[in-house]
Amino acid sequence: MATQLFIIGTAHGFQCGGLNCTSEQSEEFASELRSVCKTYGVRRMAEEMTADGRKYNKVNETVVHKVAREMDICHQDIDLDLAARQALAITDDTVLRASQTLPVDDAGEKFAIALDDLRNEIRERVWVARVMKEKLWPVLVVIGANHVQTFGMLWGKFGVTVKVLHKDWGQNEG
């Protein structure tokens, strides 16, 4: 089966093109997205983003969304907004409360890392479900670099061939 899912990991600053990103970096990222879409015949772009994330990053539209619009490619936000995270109890407040109240030997950094891993596992599974819900393939997914490996591995459970194009675009990927 031909590869149907392509992943680009990057920093959210590059993804949003706002804070901590120069106009040159933003255009370079947009150029890479255009090239990937043309090369692989991408019909949909999905990204780890929400309206809350755009507001936090002080942008109305991400670089990913701009490129999708320019190229007339379907765009999809796949992350959980703040209300959904609160409903699932995977907010920073929950992590802090749990670390202060659970009777564990180390409610410090190890505990916080474990809960953060759990939170990411939940979010990544939602992303998979949201990507699978739509019918346009192939798909380019743009996510934070720290999610690339685990998100890519999730697709193996469904027999979907994944190609990671960048583990961390904009950084020395080594």
Q: Where are the domains of the chain?
A: 5-169
Question: pLDDT digits over 98-120, tens only?
Answer: 666 666 666 567 767 777 788 88
State the pLDDT at residue 86: 83
This model's pTM is above 0.75? yes
Tokens 């109305």 -> residue: 60
pLDDT in tens, 117-154: 888 899 999 999 999 999 999 999 999 999 999 999 99
Q: Residue 51's pLDDT is what?
A: 95
- Asked whether residue 1 carries a pLDDT value surpassing 90, the answer given is no
Task: Give how far Cα 60 sits from Cα of 1, 40, 168, Å.
Answer: 37, 27, 23
Query: What's the DSSP call for residue 36?
Result: H
Residue 91 vs residues 47, 110, 135: alpha-carbon distances, Å = 20, 17, 31
